[in-house]
Amino acid sequence: MAKNFKEFIISLKLYLSYFFKKVAKDEVLIYAEALTFNTLLAVIPLIGLVFSFARAIIPEDTLIIKSFELLVKLLPEEVTGFVVEKLIYFLDRIKHFPLGKFSLLTYFMMSIGLLFFVESCLNRIYLSTEKRTIRERISFFWLTLTIAPFILLIPIVTHGYLEARFKYATYLLLIFMSFVFYLIYYYFPVRKVPRKYALISSFITTILWGILSFGFSLYVKYAVSYSAIYGSLSTIFFFFLWIFLNWLLFLLGAELTVFLSLRHNLFKPKLPCGWDRIILLKTIYENFLKGKSLSLERLENTLNIAPDRLYELLSELEKKGYILLAEGLVLPTRDHGGLKLSELLGLTEEVLKEAKSLSVLRNFLEGTRLKDIIDEDERECKL
């Protein structure tokens, strides 16, 4: 039993080490800051559109009361006061200056910019090698922007009704939040992960969000120095900090989704620099010459290369024009008879010049092509 516990601790350390190394590599903190700035640009037009739409079907006073009740439930006390104050002012301005065509256009531009950035962040975290076409992006983002106001209205409209009839209505709100996280984690990135991992990570993210909200309230309550230094401006600081922490948690949830889906392949041995590139290309060309289609999923399961390194290699080879990634398939684009071993190993002319004294090695590196390696393997198989 002690041996099993020791093995568990070692495995846990390795998993945590990989997780945080990937978080650092993906620059999650920087992306959370950028998303915070994008949110500040998009949130006002979004609120304006949602309330302009909601006022057509819900009495205005009822809408305001329900919105404030929901905000009190969701946001820390210190942030709630600032948000409610600004929201009252904003709604009052909407009464006198309703949203026109230009405001709606601004909403779509700001929101699409935010969606583009969210998709870009998630694709980076998910190790996505493919990209949506312009047509697919327009269709997907248009659908998202159409549905978003309805999704935001659901908790506003239903929370008061459910709270009056159910004792644990707040938990239903958290379940709804978890469902929204799931939709984003599963549908936003181009690369798909198993649904169960998206569900697990969205549920964990929601729980951590509740803990974060409680911890943030305690932090603000005892952070006396900020109020002393910034005065009334400290509320704005806390509001920005709250948005940043939410985005940071959201991105960590995305990292968790990828970690769960790839955890079985994380500790594949690392090959010497350049040789993993040759093995990858060799596998791609062999399958192509045999008339077999090679999907990204099959490639990931076939090769003994760690997932993050594999997708890094695929992106590199696509940029250099060796392969084409289309509809989940990996296709070669160059004649393998012209691919030198020295080129695939990434050796520069300076390195090869230094190998002049080792003429046999130099001739092997410059004279051997990928085709020669594949042909040699086929001859050995026949023997």
Read off the pLDDT of residues 144-192 as tens digits, 9 standing for 90 and up: 877 877 777 777 667 666 666 777 767 787 888 899 999 999 988 888 8
Over residues 222-234, the pLDDT tens digits come to: 765 666 666 666 6
User: What's phi and psi for 75, nearest 5 deg?
Assistant: -100, 150
DSSP string, 247-282: HHHHHHHHHHHHHHHHGGGTTPPPPPTTHHHHHHHH
Annotate 261-298 with b (16+ C-beta within 10 A) or e (fewer).
bbeebeeeeebeeeebbbbbbbbbbbbbeeeeebebeb
Provide DSSP, 13-26.
Answer: HHHHHHHHHHHHHT
**Of 265, 296, 327, which closes a domain?**
265
Are 52 and 197 found together in one domain?
A: yes
**DSSP state, 295?**
B
Q: Are 277 and 313 in contact (CB under 8 A)?
A: yes
Examine the fold and report which residue of 239, 265, 291 is the final residue of a domain before the chain moves on: 265
Q: Quick check: is 12 in a domain?
A: no
Domain end point (choices 233, 265, 297) = 265
Tell me which of 276 and 205 has the higher pLDDT. 205
Can you tell me whether residue 323 is helix, strand or coil?
strand
Helices 169-187, 101-125: inter-axial angle, 10-degree rounding: 70
CA dist 254 to 23, 135, 201, 259, Å? 10, 25, 7, 9
Under the banding of pLDDT at 50, 70 and 90, the label for residue 208 is very high
- Per-residue pLDDT, 357: 45
Is the pLDDT at 367 greater than 60? The verdict is: no
Residue 19 placed within a domain: no
pLDDT at 352: 43
pLDDT value of residue 57: 67
Minimum mean pLDDT among 25-29, 75-79, 307-311, 313-317: which range?
75-79
Is position 129 within any domain? Answer: yes
Residues 252 and 377 in one domain: no
In a domain, 1, yes or no: no
Q: What is the largest CA-CA distance in the chain?
A: 86
212 and 303 part of one domain: no
Question: Lowest mean pLDDT: which of 67-76, 126-135, 200-209?
Answer: 67-76
- Whether residues 281 and 254 share a domain: the answer is no
Identify which has the larger pLDDT, 128 or 43: 128
Q: Which residues contact 338 (CB under 8 A, 6 or more apart)?
A: 369
Checking if the pLDDT of 91 tops 90, the result is no
Percent of the chain with pLDDT over 70: 58
Domain assignment present for residue 225? The answer is yes
Please tell me the distance from the alpha carbon of residue 182 to that of residue 203, in angstroms, as a whole number: 8
Give yes or no: residues 209 and 128 share one domain.
Answer: yes
Q: Which of 82-91, 198-207, 327-336 has the lowest mean pLDDT?
A: 82-91
Q: Is residue 258 part of a domain?
A: yes
The angle subtended at Cα 104 by Cα 66 and Cα 186, nearest 5°, is 70
Read off the pTM.
0.74
Same structural domain for residues 308 and 174? Answer: no
Residues 310 and 344 in one domain: yes
Same domain? For 284 and 229 the reply is no
Residue 296: give the domain boundaries: 275-382
Rounded to 10°, the helix 77-96/28-54 angle is 40
Q: Are 341 and 369 in contact (CB under 8 A)?
A: yes
Least confident of 37-46, 53-62, 249-258, 344-353: 344-353
Mean pLDDT across the chain: 74
Q: Hey, what's the torsion of the CAs at 158, 159, 163, 166, to 10 degrees?
A: 60
Specify if 128 maps to a domain.
Answer: yes
Contact 278, 347 (CB under 8 A): no
> Per the structure, how many domains does the chain have?
2
Average pLDDT over every residue of 341-367: 49
- Residue with more model confidence, 254 or 75: 254
Q: Does residue 136 form part of some domain?
A: yes
For residues 53 and 151, state if they share a domain.
Answer: yes
Residue 46 sits in the same domain as residue 83: yes
- Same domain for 162 and 284? no
CB 256 within 8 A of CB 15: no
Cβ neighbours, 10 Å, residue 82: 17
Q: Which residues, at least 6 apart from 303, have a Cβ–Cβ distance to it below 8 Å?
A: 279, 280, 283, 310
- In this predicted model, what pLDDT tens digit does every residue of 29-63 receive, in sequence order? 999 998 988 887 777 666 766 666 666 666 666 66
Reduced to 3 states (helix: H, G, I; strand: E, B; else coil), residue 197 is helix
Strands 323-326 and 329-332: antiparallel
Q: Which residue, among 317, 235, 236, has the nearest Cα to 274 in the 3D structure?
A: 317
Amino acid at 353: K
The answer to whether residues 295 and 373 belong to one domain is: yes
Domain of residue 313, CATH code: 1.10.10.10
